Amino acid sequence: MSTWATFKKDNFIPLCDVLAAKDADLAAVINTFGYPPFWHRPANFETLIHIILEQQVSLASARAAMMKLQSRIVMITPDNLLKLTDDELKQCYFSRQKIIYARHLATVILSGQLNLDALPLMHNSAVRTALLRVKGIGNWTADVYLMMVLQRPDILPLGDIALIKSIKEVKHLPGNITKTEIAAIASAWQPWQTIASFILWHAYLCKRKRMV
């Protein structure tokens, strides 16, 4: 059985300090806004549904949809979700496309094509491959799962608009900088790019007075 590097609540703050010692801009974020939350989500179907709902919408909109779904089915499991009609899912603020994605996810989990229990034992690239086989799951969703569910410490979600904006703000970068150039800058945070991303998300949210 293989185990892969992770970070936990008890070493999260020390890792933030390691990054702050290496990067004055990250240190300034922590000095201004404090340490970021230790964002963690359970390794289950409900979490993946929530991440799918967060695709290309505000966190508040996704949270509203999730709360509506939770009010309709207390236990968000593949079986229970498949019992809902399309109209019932629309009433939970699911778009037509996300209804398709949610049903497909439920189906592949029930069929055993995706085994969530196996993912913690897999290398990052294998986790990504397994998730990307599922309709509606792209690199951003896989990144969030790796970072917030499996707590893998060295993930940089370049598809996250808020993170890219925060990097540009914190690092005082030009608006036309490419993602390749941003990735090169972020390589200085290895092997803790996930923790750096948490610090940068925290800065983005605090500046805009938003909550997660």
pLDDT of residue 3: 57
Is the bond into 191 cis (omega within 30 degrees of 0)?
yes
| HEC-encoded secondary structure of 67-85 | HHHHHHCCCCCHHHHHCCC
Confidence of residue 212 (pLDDT cuts 50, 70, 90): low
Write out pLDDT tens, residues 111-134. Answer: 999 999 999 999 999 999 999 999
User: What is the Cβ-side half-sphere exposure of residue 152, based on CA atoms within 13 angstroms?
Assistant: 24
pTM confidence score: 0.94
Confidence of residue 2 (pLDDT cuts 50, 70, 90): very low
**Domain parsing of the chain, residue ranges:** 11-39+155-207, 45-149
Instruction: Note the CATH number of domain 11-39+155-207.
Output: 1.10.1670.40
Question: Does 45-149 carry CATH code 3.40.50.300?
Answer: no
